Amino acid sequence: MSVMKRVSMIFRAKANKALDRMEDPRETLDYSYQTQLELLQKVRRGVADVATSRKRVELQMNQLELSSSKLDKQARDALSAGREDLAREALSRKSGVQGQLADLQTQYTSLQGEEEKLTTASQRLQAKVDAFRTKKETIKATYTAAEAQTRINEAFTGISEEMGDVGMAIQRAEDKTAQMQARAGAIDELMASGALDDVVSGPRDDIQAELDRMGASHDVDGQLERMKAELSQGSAPRQLEGSAGATDGQPAQAAQPADHQAGEGQ
C-alpha cells in the first residue's frame, strides 16, 4: 500500500505539473466568468418561475373571490326567495371556497417572499458578475502585457526557445563557414606546394616543376651577383680617393731631390 500511495502521489504531482504548464490564466478566467453567467441565468429563470407560480396563484385567488362573491349573492337570492336550503348550500360552498382562498393566500405570500429573495440574490449576483468581468479583463490585459514583455526580454537576451534555435543556427553557419575557409586555405597551400594537382590545367610535370625551381634559383643567384657588383662599385671610388691623396703627398717630397740633383748637374 505504501508503494501504491507513492506511485499515486508521483502520478498526481506530474499530472499537476503538466496541467500547470498547459493552463492559461486568461482561459481559466473566461471559463469562470462563463460559469457565473450560467449561474446568473439559472437564478433569473428561478425568479421567473417563482413569479409565474405567484401569478397563477393570484389568478386562482381572483377566480375564487369571484366564485365566493357569486355564492354569496346566490345565497342571498335563495334566502329572499324563501329557499333556505339553497341558501344554506350556497353558504356551505362559499365556506369551502373561502378555505381554498385562505390556502392560496398563504401560498401567494410564500411565493412572493421567495420571489423577493431570489430577486435580491439575482441583483447581488449580477453585481458580482459585473465586478468579476471588470477584474477579469484587467487581469487578462496585465497578463498579456507581462507575457509580451517576457517574450521581448527573452528575445533580447537570447534565452527564448525560438531565439535559442536562431542562435544555434547562426553558430552552426559560422562554424561551417570557418571550416570551409580553412579547407580552402589548406587546398591553396597544397596546390602551391605541388602536393595537389590542378585538374583544370592538367597534371603537373615533375621535370617541369624541377626546371621551374632551377629557373627560380638562377634568378636568385643573378640578383645576388648584381647586388655584390653594386656594392663593389660603391666601395671602389672610396679606395681610389684614398690612393690619390697618398700619391699627391709622396711625389712632392721626392720631386725636390730630383730637382736638386738636376741643378747640381748643371
CA distance 42 to 34: 12
Write out the three cell numbers for 229: 657588383
Here the CATH number for the domain that contains residue 128 is 1.10.287
pLDDT in tens, 8-27: 777 777 777 776 677 788 88
The terminus-to-terminus CA distance of the chain in angstroms comes to: 157
pLDDT in tens, 25-38: 888 889 999 999 99
Q: What does the mean pLDDT of the chain come to?
A: 78
Q: Which residues contact 108 (CB under 8 A, 6 or more apart)?
A: 54, 57, 58, 61
pLDDT in tens, 187-197: 777 777 666 66
Domain range holding 126? 26-158
pTM for the whole structure: 0.49
pLDDT band at 212 (very low <50, low <70, confident <90, very high): low
Which pLDDT value is given to residue 186? 82
Residue 17 Cα distances to 23, 46, 179, angstroms? 10, 40, 44
Assess if residue 64 is contained within a domain.
yes
Which pLDDT value is given to residue 80? 87
Which pLDDT value is given to residue 134? 92
Assess if residue 83 is contained within a domain.
yes
Assess if residue 195 is contained within a domain.
no
Give yes or no for residue 263 having a pLDDT over 50.
Answer: no
Assess if residue 261 is contained within a domain.
no
Number of domains in the chain: 1
Helix, strand, coil content of the chain in percent (nearest 5): 90, 0, 10
Element (H, E) at 65: helix 25-80
Assess if residue 109 is contained within a domain.
yes
pLDDT in tens, 236-248: 555 555 555 544 4
Assess if residue 262 is contained within a domain.
no
Cβ(90)–Cβ(78) below 8 Å: yes
Assess if residue 240 is contained within a domain.
no
Burial of 97 (0-12, 13-18, 19+ CB in 10 A): buried
Assess if residue 18 is contained within a domain.
no
